[in-house]
Amino acid sequence: MSDLNFTDQTFKSEVLESSEPVIVDFWAPWCGPCRIVSPIIDELAAEYAGKIKVGKLNVDENPQTSGQYGIMSIPSIVFFKNGQPIRTMIGAQSKENYKKEIEEILGN
């Protein structure tokens, strides 16, 4: 399970300065599709532990970061590498779609 919860205060150190790629799930508790995606993100966090960092950012509680990255629709899954957003997937997607992106980022 993804126990990492990013905040406006921890985003720079946890995501932008991370030595490994990071997946950020921008979500909100009231969002139905977010609740569908959440268990998939948790499974990916377990499967790719040690290879990629996976965490969540509640857009209601962290408006600065979500605004900085132009998050207008949730769930938005943003892939970061070397401190830069390199891919965004908007809306609920299949686990296979997320895995495909992760494998590309990891170079597998």
Q: What is the pLDDT of residues 4-20, one digit of tens each?
A: 899 999 999 999 999 99
Paired strand residues for 1: none
Catalytic residue among 4, 23, 31, 57: 31
Contacts of 31-36 with CB under 8 Å at 24 or more apart are 31/74, 31/75, 33/74, 33/75, 33/91, 33/92, 34/74, 34/75, 36/92
Q: What would the pLDDT profile of 39-85 be if each residue is shown by its tens digit? A: 999 999 999 999 999 999 999 999 999 999 999 999 999 999 999 99
Residue 31 annotated in active site: yes
Class of domain 4-95: alpha beta
Q: Which of 15, 24, 34, 37 is catalytic?
A: 34
Residues 6+ positions from 83 with CB-CB distance below 8 Å? 15, 16, 17, 18
Whether residue 55 lies in the annotated active site? no
Domain boundaries, the chain: 4-95
In this prediction, residue 108 has a pLDDT band, given cuts at 50, 70 and 90, of low
pTM score above 0.85:
yes
